[in-house]
Amino acid sequence: MTDAVTLSEIGESAALARIFPRLPEAKATLLGPGDDAAVVAAPDGRFVVTTDMMIHGPDFRLAWSSPFDLGWKAAASNLSDVAAMGAVPSALVLALAVPAETPVSFLERVADGMREACAELSAGCGVVGGDLSVSAAMTFAVTAFGDLEGRMPVLRSGARVGDTVAVSGALGAAAEGLRLLFEHGVDERGEPDAARASALGDRTAAQLRPRPPIADGRLAALGGATAMLDLSDGLAKDAARVAAASGVAIDFASAALGDDPELALGGGEDHSLFATFPAGTALPGGFRAIGTVVEGSGVLLDGAPHDASGWDPYTGWSGARG
């Protein structure tokens, strides 16, 4: 049965030959995989670059995430960092390490997830190279590139007093998905359980297969955003970074944060885009106003200081489980 063939049985070269055709092609590719390095177009003489790892244990459980989910999330979370600079994602490289007994069909599904994420979130972006290794700890290391189209990058440090604070994308949905998995996606002993997680259906999609608003990064830059970042550690914690870098405070309006402001402020991994715009700006794309930049430091909620210590639900999790 083809599905049962493992990486150790067919080796790296044969596995790559099965994976590469499934990966998305990048329009910016001048030379693709197969030589010592790839060559990628950087039309304005610069490129944006970001790198991020996903590791079995701290970052995902195999009982909860399918290989398609993992490929999707590895792509989506890196595309979001590119978008947060105001750039258009152009290409990715993937360094993937898996246990030797991993079925090659698993790797194919990872490639499928990366392809679909690129197609749906940032058409034209694709994979230009990679590396496949053996490791006891399954590890995705994605490096993503973007094109600024001649614009200045949108930094964390540009927020000014009086700016409108806005967000595009969900707030707290990824954390709510993870809460559901911890509460209902486990067996009697508290171990991650694939069947029970699957029964949660779409309610875990924001956690397992996030859909960051990649195109809104470019729209924010074109629309005059003064600061921007990707929401990975929770709205409050990430807003505190913008506040510190810009020498201002961020005051959120609780009424704009939905039914559960604490979840919206504390939940991580949404990969939504946080941006500030000059007061009166017609907010572009999916951005909506959620607060104001004020004098001071740190994060406020309706004018009162808010603890921005953030969120780390995986702390202490044993890598031997799930």
Which residues are annotated binding-site positions for substrate? 59, 269, 311
Q: What is the DSSP letter of 2?
A: G
Q: Which of residues 136-165 bind its own copies (CB under 8 A)?
A: 136-137, 139, 141, 143-146, 148, 153, 155-156
Task: Scan for tokens 């406020």, then name that residue.
Answer: 300
Binding-site positions for ATP: 130-131, 156, 232
Q: Which of residues 190-249 bind its own copies (CB under 8 A)?
A: 228-230
Q: Least Å distance between CB 275 and its own copies?
A: 12
Q: Does position 35 bind its own copies by CB under 8 A?
A: yes
- Other C-beta atoms lying within 10 Å of the C-beta of residue 37: 10
Nearest to 69 by CA among 180, 198, 232, 172: 198
Q: Least Å distance between CB 97 and its own copies?
A: 6
Q: Does position 6 bind its own copies by CB under 8 A?
A: no
Q: What is the DSSP letter of 62?
A: T
Q: Does position 123 bind its own copies by CB under 8 A?
A: no
Nearest to 69 by CA among 204, 216, 179: 204
Residue 207 in tokens: 């956690």
Nearest to 74 by CA among 101, 100, 111: 111
The answer to whether 7 and 134 have CB atoms below 8 angstroms apart is yes
The count of chain residues that interact with its own copies, using the rule CB under 8 A, is 59
The answer to whether 163 and 279 have CB atoms below 8 angstroms apart is yes
Stretch that binds its own copies, among 28-36, 117-125, 179-187, 249-257 (CB under 8 A): 28-36
CA–CA separation, 244 vs 316, rounded Å?
Answer: 29
Residue 268 in tokens: 């991580």
Binding-site positions: 36, 50-52, 59, 81, 130-131, 156, 230, 232-233, 269, 311
145 Cβ contact list (under 8 Å, min separation 6): 28, 40, 47, 48, 49, 82, 89, 90, 91, 92
Stretch that binds its own copies, among 125-133, 186-194, 246-254, 287-295 (CB under 8 A): 125-133
Q: Contact with its own copies (CB under 8 A): which of 43, 190, 247, 303?
A: 43
Stretch that binds its own copies, among 51-59, 63-71, 250-258, 298-306 (CB under 8 A): 51-59
Q: Does position 37 bind its own copies by CB under 8 A?
A: yes
Q: Contact with its own copies (CB under 8 A): which of 14, 119, 134, 222?
A: 134
CA–CA separation, 235 vs 166, rounded Å?
Answer: 11
Between 32 and 261, CB nearer to its own copies: 32
Q: Which residues bind its own copies (CB under 8 A)?
A: 30-31, 34-53, 55, 57-59, 81-82, 84-85, 87, 91, 93-95, 97, 128-131, 133-137, 139, 141, 143-146, 148, 153, 155-156, 228-230, 319
